[in-house]
Amino acid sequence: MSQWLPIAELAGKVRTGELKAVDLVNQAYTTIEDNKDYNAIISLTRDRALQRATEIDQSEHKGRLAGVPFIAKDNFLAFGAETTAGSNILKGFNAPYQASVIEKLEAEGAICVAKANLDAFAHGSSTENSDFGVTKNPHNKSRVAGGSSGGSAAAVTLDFVPFALGSDTGGSIRLPASFCGCVGYKPTYGLVSRSGVVAMASSLDVIGPLARTIDDTAIVLDVISGRDELDSTTIERDDQPYTDLDISLEGQKIGVIKEYKEEGVDEGVKSQIETVIEKLKTAGAEVSEISLPSLPLALAVYYIICPAEVSSNLSRYDGIRYGHSDKDAKTVDEQYLKSRGEGFGAENKRRIMIGTHVLSSGYYDAYYKTAQTVRTKLINEFAEAFSTVDYLLGPVSPTPAFEINSHRDDPMLDYLVDIMTVAANLVGIPAISLPIGSVNDLPVGLQLMGRQKSDRQLLALAKQTEELIK
């Protein structure tokens, strides 16, 4: 049983004075302190958080999220602590402004209490690539929490806060949510502003919440979504509130993705998914099998396009403008080489090199252009699927959380973990990970996907599914 009330109820009690924001912030810090050994947190924003809590308690206009503590993945620019993106190259960097989503949440009274651990620059699926150490799974300390938003997912599951923010480039919200046993939501591309979030791959990056329930997820999305003049890729939000989740499962058309059944799915995971499918059928949903022929190519496409954009985005870390700078360099070239060589981790360097290679003269057409062509084919196949069904269903991961260090000697194993999540980012559709049970005491997540801009309807389906499996 969580120590936190539902977000709407919690904020309501702060607005009436029944609860104090300062007490909620202190409660969060006590829980964080009691669970330091999970390494979910990089830094605390204690002074600023307590100051904001005091101001909220004294204010007459408290907002929809009054006094609700939350944690931001450490690739979000936020005041009160350093922003490192989990990398030594940004150690000591204090943000000159805040991410748009942080500003929106604070405008409604939410309080950022800490910055969560992540794979450095969000490069990874396990949080083992963090320069601040691995985050351990709340259900088994010998297992990973998933990545790259592993710290955010662990923080929610460990009850540090009612919700956390993550970023999802190829599954980095949904995968850790599945491994840790909380809800993780990846909105439609552009629905939430990326302004003030350290870029990984700009055509794939999406910002979203991790929370304990669909209701909590929906209220956070309702606050942070919508167009932002600081991010030209943002789109208009739904006219109806994202908290309007009242739909019937009767007649809902759900497609079970055929190709995901063929990707070596653990028998326990398969059994949990099948149980949910049967419950959906009993509740009146029309469930059928759907094939997306190009889906097996999605991972290869992702690991060409993503490193290409990583290579471009990380070029700004040159040791001159900000971030780690080697003090002994004698020339500009030496400054670049030493600063980047010392500051970036092995996975960062690997992705920079892959990305630079696929964009280079002589290889651009063979790799990058071909990958973009297949990406378009995937977009068309998903659009065709959504002409016959309303939603798509499958696992988030073929297996529950794997053991820490089990992928250390083979980066490809880490890449393969993303096999069921990358497609949603490539085609820009909303997707959610919903906890549905466990295998060997490790959580299993169900992945639901909808057509672009169907975020409210997808959350409503997830809400009804959540009710079915209680």
Tell me what pLDDT residue 262 has.
79
The answer to the question of residue 422 being in a domain is no
- How many beta carbons lie within 10 A of that of residue 185, not counting itself? 30
Tell me what pLDDT residue 264 has.
86
The answer to the question of residue 155 being in a domain is yes
pTM: 0.97
CA atoms of 219 and 395, how far apart (whole Å): 25
The answer to the question of residue 327 being in a domain is no
CATH at residue 35: 3.90.1300.10
Domain residues for the domain of 198 are 7-224
Annotation marks residue 294 as catalytic: no
Annotation marks residue 148 as catalytic: yes
- How many beta carbons lie within 10 A of that of residue 62, not counting itself? 21
Tell me what pLDDT residue 18 has.
98
The answer to the question of residue 416 being in a domain is no
The answer to the question of residue 159 being in a domain is yes
- Does residue 148 have a cis peptide bond before it, meaning omega lies within 30 degrees of 0? yes
Tell me what pLDDT residue 1 has.
66
The answer to the question of residue 444 being in a domain is no
pLDDT along the chain (470 residues), means of 10: 93 98 98 98 98 97 97 98 97 96 98 98 97 98 98 98 98 98 98 98 98 98 98 97 96 96 90 97 98 97 97 92 87 92 95 96 94 98 98 97 93 91 98 97 98 98 96
The answer to the question of residue 172 being in a domain is yes
Catalytic residue among 100, 126, 130, 148: 148
When divided into structural domains, the chain yields a total of 1
Catalytic residue among 62, 73, 104, 115: 73
Tell me what pLDDT residue 385 has.
98
Q: Are strands 183-186 and 253-257 parallel, antiparallel or unpaired?
A: unpaired
The answer to the question of residue 204 being in a domain is yes
CA atoms of 38 and 376, how far apart (whole Å): 41
Catalytic residue among 172, 225, 397, 433: 172
Tell me what pLDDT residue 326 has.
87
